[in-house]
Structure 1
């Protein structure tokens, strides 16, 4: 029996280079996907690809050796193809295409989930990229169930298959549904039943119980973990090996992360990073809420570092 694949999701403004590094240090992911590189009419210079996917300079792998696939977002087939070709020249081992981003700014410029209203464009972009990059480089697609509704979900999935995508990741909500629970894993199953390529289920997987339900309801063996992996950095290990996690295993991850990001931004930016992560962690651990209370008014890296190093839960 084939082992399930577990993938770290592309999460704009959350799973950047440093978070990908931290999560893959402690979790056995099959691969992760970069934040999207936005393509809007120009062949982008290498520095843009390196900004969003610094791992390209490191063999397209994280510190732990996890492969990093590069994600592109855009609607112009020729320009997307040109940029995909450049990304591969820079070392991207695979190209993922974003037809799922719900951000209004992106959608207004015909990017992300709004393109799911136009299956012919989804097909054209995917086909152009597939034709532009070497045959050994996989091209995959990540999409939602739809834009305003899921009426075109199967049309989009078939368009992706016909265009030559190697696999399809489906987030189980429409753009209109945003990130509001639940995710409709059963509707991912409707897609899986009509396509001939692997389908990866994504959305609202916070716990091993969620993962099991997502697999049963979608019929998908493979899962992409997003915010749930940030809220529990050891979620992937629980899915692979079982067991339990406790706060004593989480705090060292935060401490290492803080050392890694030192001097990578302004004081306010660095403080924002740790506060954002603690906000996710407090869903599960009251200790994270206590630590967030201690650091939430601090911006001094030295002070925050000492609070992390000396933290003792009440």
Structure 2
């Protein structure tokens, strides 16, 4: 029952996020260590190094694509650059995204979008403040500064407009850009912790069930006194099992899904050793249990 309860609480399957295109994966990988991704063949209308210095660690990412036209969007009313921007924002979820690309009219220009988690319970602001409203404010400022060969003022005025709005929304400090998580099939943060919690729930449920059975079994089946040698070995082995159960039942927080699985495997081995202990009625049987305990204690350190 404990195992079923643990599985029902933590072990349900995780809904997989939608896969991303090879282009989005390449862009996101390029943004893992920098705020600006510049594709091969970018026309150089924006100085990427200067843009990186300007953006710093603000929650803004800039994508500078080449002059090859993007494939059309599935929605005929959506520009290809806007469609790609939203695909990137679905992975870089806490950032504002700017994508420069060739649009339907042959113009090399920007598309803007807001990551779906830019505004959330941990970041409680109106995301609309950073969408059309912010772009319109920046456009007024850059319209007399931009040239055909130099689009950097567009980026600069967008950053300035962001700073002005963020100063109002975040009086205690503007949030910084979060680390970029590799897109699927690699698990994102939420999926990883769901896996860890699932394994931890099964681990705790399994140990709780068998420790309870062990206690009940001792009250029911243990009868009479054993000889002094057997009793001494049994008590010593029982003490070791109890100490090991406490260590396995209260392990340190797993570092990742692999560490959580290792802890679950240790719990399974502990259950097997516990069963052997309950079945051991002779010194030779207890000696075998203690050998298994030696191995398990070493693995649990």
TM interval, short-chain normalised? under 0.3
TM-score by length of 1: 0.24
TM-score by length of 2: 0.25
Larger helix proportion of the pair? 2
Larger strand proportion of the pair? 1
Larger CA Rg, structure 1 vs 2: 2
